[in-house]
Amino acid sequence: MKLYRFLSEQDTSAFCHKVTEALNNGWMLHGSPTQAWDHAAGVMRCGQAVTKEVDGTYTPDTKLGEQ
């Protein structure tokens, strides 16, 4: 099955570390990264979609971060 996650974080090194960790756990980048201004918090936010092929059958209980 193919899994999809959207990683997001404030535009700091924490975002890069989150994406790097996903890549090192077998996730693949899907599309381009995105940025948006968070008016409420007054910070820039980043996002990146990632996908991963794994064995099994998807259910809504699948723990994506544990794959």
Question: Is it the case that residue 14 has pLDDT exceeding 90?
Answer: yes
How sure is the predictor about 42, in pLDDT bands with cuts at 50, 70 and 90?
very high
Query: Which tokens belong to 57?
Result: 């059958």
Q: Which residue has the higher pLDDT, 1 or 66?
A: 1
Answer yes or no: is 47 within a domain. yes
Structural domain contains residue 66: no
Q: Which residues form the domain of 51?
A: 2-55
pLDDT score, position 5? 95
Number of domains in the chain: 1
In a domain, 65, yes or no: no
Write down the pTM of the prediction: 0.86
Confidence of residue 12 (pLDDT cuts 50, 70, 90): very high
pLDDT of residue 64: 80
Residue in 60, 4, 46 with CA at minimum distance from that of residue 27: 4
